[in-house]
Chain A
Amino acid sequence: MRSALPVLPAAPAAALPDVADDHTRRAFLADAGRVLAGAGLARYVPWAAALAACARDDARRGAPFRTFTAAEGRTFRAVAAQILPSGDGLPGAEEAGAAHFADRALASFFATRLPGTRAGLAALDARARAVVPNVVSFADLDADRQTAVLREIERDPFFAGVRRLVVIGTFADPSYGGNQGGAGWRLLDVDHRPMYEAPYGWYDAEAARDTTRAPDHAAGAPRPVA
């Protein structure tokens, strides 16, 4: 088990949009998310993707959270890294930026889940403090204690909801702010490209080499209309 979250490098300045533009986009995102949530339409708006894409540039792992407080974001990241940990040379939810995906999703198309997520993260921190009295956050626990605490709540709706956010954030299209750098594709062992050519997998490649295999057109001859 990995004992601590890696220290993240700050995003390079060039990767961040200029401040005024960033501010405008944040305001737009937040306003749109509120309007859609209020109308009960948040999950069903085709341009939700475009809206989320606005956030892509600044959804960097080092960037501040917008919906989560810093403390909530830190706890969420620690849970995410427990759900889909990195290891064996493969990235996990942390490398995919799943927490930053959740930060944006909970302000827009998953807005209805924000209060429950928020309450659950606070409860998790409280649970951590009950285990080790001098810590502030679940994220302060060592990995084994984090695992043990999550075992206690793994059947709770809160855990299922966070797991869902973490999985979606790791494997969804990067335009939503997660799956950063294709980390999710690497975890899936997917060679992510816009199109492919046959052979696609081991078994069809093997079949293509097999000269004794009947060609498709030998499957049967056309029968005339009776």
Chain B
Amino acid sequence: MNAPAQGTPAQRTYREDEAVDFVVVGSGAAGGVLARELACAGHGVVVLEQGPWRGATDFRHDELGIHLLGAYSGGPGDFPQTFRTSEREVARAQQAIWSARGVGGSSVHYTANFWRFRPVDFRERSLLGPIAGTGFADWPITYEELEPYYTKVDWDIGVSGAPGPFDPPRSRPYPVPPLPVKSSGVLLERGAHAVGLHAQPAPMAILSRPHNGRAPCMACGYCMGYGCEFGAKSSTLATMIPEALATGRCELRTESVVHRVETDPAGRATGVVYWDRAGVERQQRARAVVLAGNGAETPRLLFLSASPRHPHGLANGSGMVGTHLMFNGYASAWGAFEHPLNEYKGPQVTRIVHDYYDTDPKRGFYGGGGIDGRFSPGAIEFALGGLPPGAPTWGRGYARAVHELYTRTVEFASHTTSLPLPTNTITLDPTLKDRWGRPAVRVTYTDHPDDLQTMRFLQARTVDMLHAAGATRVWTTPVKPSEGTAHLLGTCRMGDDPRTSVVDRYHRAHEVRNLFICDGSSLVTSGRGQPTMTIQALAFRAADHIARFARAGEV
């Protein structure tokens, strides 16, 4: 058995050869919630996390080490990837996925934009009709079914915010008010108002006031891509995991790399096989297996768990595993202003504009999105590639431009829909291996033309808003086909029909009764670019149903 890693709180331990109630693979946004909810419901839980435990002293204000050298994300050794735009190409080694490896997963380093999906997201296919060549579909659940769990995320995870003019219905107010508005937010409001749009406080999974015994944001500015040393960002490392361990029914094993879900001849899952910190192969037996590795690692694990009974990968009789990958679109417009904004202080986002959330058939293409005011580059990134086109790249003029613009530039970012395409996939690379000898994740992705149109449409709106807000200079990052993402959605989609989906409405794999999958892969459509709130609401809901099945002996 692994000794608990340094920094891990005291916890219960389980034997590997006796079946624990649930083994949860992944401790991120979804896995952390599932572990806490299942343990609180009285079940024994073992969580296997491939990355390490990190504490406050690991969360440095260090753009080089964390952004450029990938201290949290792993590199080509830990997480090699290949990318291609279609199955006609041979994929080349290229980082296409930005995710954190460690307890809390990517909820540790995310930006913490926590938009709820809206009722329309769950039934857009019915409202708009089919879109040729896509897997555009309604969800098997509604916003109303998910609403109590969104509220649970607000309160148990900790979301700051205030209602906005286009918000979906909510059963309870936000637990804490919005974070203090930044200059980016003030300028977004100003620009939006001037062109007839509506800005509202951004819902953020960052505390503005103490909540659940946690400290509020200290506005250090190292938020997007960094871990929060104050625990004010509502990662599962700061929220769910400590509560799961405190039940005395949950064991968390870090640096434990799961590479196979075992099944018996009857087709039931019996546990998982993993390598521990020392590289020793181990097996954890379990009555049920819950996968929460998100939209790349989860399908890879299912492919690697193929058996004579499941020749194309576990739970993949439909051939749907790994398909319908959705990245979400992103488009940036930049504005320079007369006075300093000092966007390097505080969290990324304090105001959003949701006037273009819905698809408008009059635009002639599918898609919608949200806009926020922010400044995403760090100092190094900005100095290397963030200056306006035509700015000097070295010499006196360069130094002057960096000095004047780093504090005076704002980014209006558009976050947009991605259509679910059967040809956009996560598969196993046929040649590249990771350092454990597993096939690397191969990403195949081409934006649907409507996705690119949506990005361009919203980017043009943000250009108008920047001018209206009084920018002295406005420029854009050209919209190009996406070659990577931090959002890994749709690859084990949820649905009622086992021929077109991987899990049912309760996240139970159609083909394996005691296998549950709940993470970004469950999403049927992409939402408007901020999926984690919905992933966590799904996880709370899934845990409720899984615990109900367990009580009824139906697992």
A172 near B63 with CB under 8 A, answer yes
Binds A, one of B326-334, B397-405, B445-453: B397-405
CA distance A90 to B404 in the complex (A): 12
B164 at the interface (CB under 8 A from A): yes
Complex contacts, B400 vs chain A, CB 8 Å: 88
Q: CB-CB contacts of B169-185 with A at 8 A, as 1s and 0s? A: 11101000110111101
- Could you tell me the distance between the alpha carbons of A225 and B142 in the complex, rounded to whole angstroms? 12
Are A167 and B169 interface neighbours, CB within 8 A?
no
Of B313-321, B342-350, B361-369, the one with at least 4 CB within 8 A of chain A: B342-350
Chain B residue contacts of A202, Cβ below 8 A: 183, 339-341
Chain A residues with CB under 8 A of B76: 40, 44
**Residues of A contacting B200 in the complex (Cβ-Cβ under 8 angstroms):** 219-220
Instruction: Select one of B64, B219, B403 contacting A198, CB under 8 A.
Output: B219
Name which residue of chain A comes closest to B407, CB basis: A189
Q: Give the residue of A44, A163, A188, A198 whose beta carbon is less than 8 angstroms from that of B74.
A: A44
B221–A204 CB distance below 8 A: no
**A158 to B394, alpha carbons, bound, how many Å?**
14
- Contacting B at CB under 8 A, from A32-86, are 40-41, 43-44, 46, 48-49, 82-86
Closest beta carbon of chain A to B267's beta carbon, Å: 39
Stretch at the interface among B10-18, B292-300, B378-386, B506-514: B378-386
Check B63 against A171 for contact (C-beta < 8 Å).
yes
Q: Kindly list chain B residues whose C-beta atoms are within 8 Å of the C-beta of A163.
A: 384, 393-394
How far is A44 from B69 in the complex, measured between Cα atoms in Å?
A: 6
**Size category, A interface:** 35 or more
Specify which chain B residues have a CB less than 8 angstroms from the CB of A48 in the assembled complex: 65, 69, 71
A6 at the interface (CB under 8 A from B): no
From A80, which residue of chain B is reached at the shortest CB distance? B394
Q: Is B178 within 8 A of A216, CB to CB?
A: yes
CB distance from B536 to the nearest CB of A (A): 19
A172 touches B64 (CB 8 A): yes
Interface status of B88 (Cβ within 8 A of chain A): no
The answer to the question of B147 belonging to the interface, with a C-beta cut-off of 8 Å to chain A, is yes
Alpha-carbon gap, A204 to B184, bound state (A)? 8
Whether a CB of chain A sits under 8 angstroms from the CB of B75 is yes
B542 CB to nearest chain A CB (Å): 20
Given A172-B63, A190-B379, is A44 in contact with B339 using a C-beta cutoff of 8 Å?
no
Question: Given contacts A175-B62, A187-B402, is CB(A204)–CB(B186) below 8 Å?
Answer: yes
B75 touches A41 (CB 8 A): yes
In the bound complex, residues from chain B placing their C-beta under 8 Å from that of A220 are 162-165, 167, 200
CB pair B65 A198 closer than 8 Å: no
Q: Please tell me if A150 contacts chain B, counting CB pairs below 8 Å.
A: yes
Closest chain B residue, CB of each to CB of A214? B189
A90 touches B379 (CB 8 A): no
B394 touches A225 (CB 8 A): no
The reply to whether the CB of A138 lies closer than 8 angstroms to some CB of chain B is no
Contacting pair A200 B406 (CB below 8 A): no
Given the contacts A87-B396, A223-B167, A226-B169, A189 and B340 also touching, CB distance less than 8 Å: yes
Residues of A with C-beta under 8 A to B163: 219-223
A147: interface (CB < 8 Å): yes
Contact assessment for A201 and B178 in the assembled complex, using a CB-CB cutoff below 8 Å:
no
Bound Cα distance from A145 to B345, whole angstroms: 40
**A113: shortest Cβ distance to chain B, in Å?**
13
A225 touches B170 (CB 8 A): yes
B61–A173 CB distance below 8 A: yes
Q: Measured between C-beta atoms, what is the minimum distance from B401 to chain A in Å?
A: 11
Do residues B64 and A173 form an inter-chain contact, with CB atoms below 8 A?
yes
In angstroms, Cα B163 to Cα A111, docked, is: 51
- Given contact pairs A43-B75, A171-B63, A219 touches B394 in the complex (Cβ within 8 A): no
Residues of B within 8 A of A164 (CB): 384
Known A40-B77, A172-B64; contact A188-B403, beta-carbon cutoff 8 A = yes
B residues less than 8 Å from A221 (CB atoms) = 163
B144 contacts which of A150, A170, A217, A225 (Cβ < 8 Å)? A225
| Given the contacts A197-B219, A225-B144, A44 and B183 also touching, CB distance less than 8 Å | no
Contacts of B220 in A (CB 8 A): 194-196
Residues of B with C-beta under 8 A to A154:
393-394
Q: In residues 91-138 of chain A, which contact B (Cβ within 8 Å)?
A: 92, 109
Q: How far apart are the CA atoms of A125 and B63 in the complex, in Å?
A: 32
Partner among B170, B186, B396 whose Cβ is within 8 Å of the Cβ of A85: B396
Contact call B182/A219, Cβ cutoff below 8 A: no
Report which B residues bind A (CB closer than 8 A).
58, 60-65, 68-71, 74-78, 144, 147, 162-165, 167-171, 173, 177-178, 180-183, 185-187, 200-201, 218-221, 337, 339-346, 379-380, 383-384, 393-396, 398-400, 402-404, 406-407
Closest 5 CB pairs of A and B: A44-B75, A202-B339, A198-B180, A201-B183, A203-B183
Supplied contacts A163-B384, A189-B407, 19 more A-B pairs, CB within 8 Å:
A40-B77, A163-B393, A167-B383, A173-B60, A173-B63, A188-B402, A190-B379, A194-B220, A198-B219, A199-B180, A200-B180, A200-B182, A201-B183, A207-B186, A216-B162, A217-B162, A217-B177, A219-B162, A225-B147
